[in-house]
Amino acid sequence: MRGRRIATEIWILLGLFAAFLAFVAYFERIGQEKTAAVTPSSYNAQAQGVKALYLLFAQTGYPVTRLTTNWNGLDSSDRLLIVVEPFEREVDPSEDAALHRWLMSGGTLLYLVTSPPRPLDPNDTVAGDVAVIAGKADQTEVRPDAPDSPYLRHVARFAVKSAVRLQPASHGKYETLFHDDQGALTLHKPLGKGHVLVVANSAAASNRFIREADNAVFLVNVAAASLGAQGGNIVFDEYHHGVGFEGSVESGDSTWDYMPKSVRLALWQALGLLALLVYNGNRRFGRPRMLPAPTYRPSTDYVGSMARLYRRAGAGDIALVTLYKTFARELTHALDLPPDLPASALVQQAERRYGAESEALSPLLTRCEEVVRGKRVSEAEMLDLAQRLERFRRRFDLVRE
């Protein structure tokens, strides 16, 4: 009972710890999704978030997902990747290579940049041929520069509030979609089978400005042109806003490296609990004590005591009657005969079954019947009759092991 109670307590502890791990993982995720009010995340419903754009695409009927791994996690079913600065996690060089491969195979990148200004980056094979330069952050509206572009269909005005502008390299082969007197605001270029759109106006997709001018129409046009007739997913990059496990196995980090700190602490606690359970399950709870050996009485004690009782009472004939009736019952059962069969008939049936071996059985049973009817026998004769009955029991195979 005590061992069962201890096992129950151990299972309860393990269950509680499993629940603790589940709560840690859940609240870690919730904590990531509750981003700061200034984060341009699709989880953020504040002014600078892009949750309205996420819901707009979903209500329009486009499949919309969130990317919670780095760009190595993009696959062929993802057709439009929306990346909004600023980032909370830096872009790893291996991600640029993965993004470049994805674009070359037909994906489209909508990259909304913001401060700070930055020069050309030859190591960036996607958008490194565009410099981000300083500009005035006044709110204004501009008209499209390439009305025939599929991205600008039914777009008459574009609301702008950005402190940066775009300056493409001379070899960049970019098409300007919007600009003002300070520089380009939106650039487009094909890249392999895919397309890259760089927008120096991250506010254009924000919850606050998406309703201004024709910003929503422009963004829906980008989705329609990117997915086309083939369909696919629109993916919002949330990994670089701090959502999801940091790092990836593809980038060379171990699973332990990209686990959240809270999960790693929980696993250390699990190891400590396991060590404690192993220790408690194997330690002594006191000094060892020798248990007294129980005194066992052999099963022959009863037989011996009954024999002494019969001898002292001079009732050896009762013991012989008991042995004889037991022998007769076993023999009739072995011969499949009625239990009340007379001794003479029993002898005849035994002679048929066992042959010459049963010739001495008749005088034995006759003498036993006399004892049953009350004839007294001496102790020596009683012992002889008992021994003869036992020999016949063994000869007729009436003994059960």
Mean pLDDT of the chain: 82
CB 177 within 8 Å of CB 188: yes
Higher pLDDT, 245 or 114: 114
pLDDT band at residue 298 under the 50/70/90 scheme? low
- Region of 336 on the Ramachandran plot (φ > 0 left; ψ -120 to 50 alpha; else beta): left
CB 86 within 8 Å of CB 60: no
Helix, strand, coil shares of the chain, percent, nearest 5, are 45, 15, 40
CB 9 within 8 Å of CB 3: no
Higher pLDDT, 265 or 383: 383
- What percent of the chain has pLDDT above 70? 78
pTM of the model: 0.59
Position 251 scores a pLDDT of 47
Whether the pLDDT of residue 309 is over 70: the answer is no
- For the stretch 225-236, pLDDT in tens is 999 878 899 999
- For the stretch 128-182, pLDDT in tens is 999 999 998 888 999 999 889 999 999 999 999 999 999 999 888 899 999 999 9
Q: What mean pLDDT is predicted for residues 30-35?
A: 52
Q: How far apart are CA 232 and CA 80, in angstroms?
A: 8
CB 67 within 8 Å of CB 156: no
Judged by average pLDDT, the poorest of 30-34, 47-51, 214-218, 347-351 is 30-34
Q: Among 36, 131, 41, which residue's Cα sits nearest to residue 85?
A: 41
Helices (H), 283-342: 300-313, 316-334
Position 316 scores a pLDDT of 65
Task: Report the CATH architecture of 38-242.
Answer: 3-Layer(aba) Sandwich (3.40)
Domain boundaries, the chain: 1-35+252-283, 38-242, 300-395
Whether the pLDDT of residue 312 is over 80: the answer is no
CB 190 within 8 Å of CB 164: no
Higher pLDDT, 186 or 336: 186
Position 130 scores a pLDDT of 95
Whether the pLDDT of residue 218 is over 60: the answer is yes
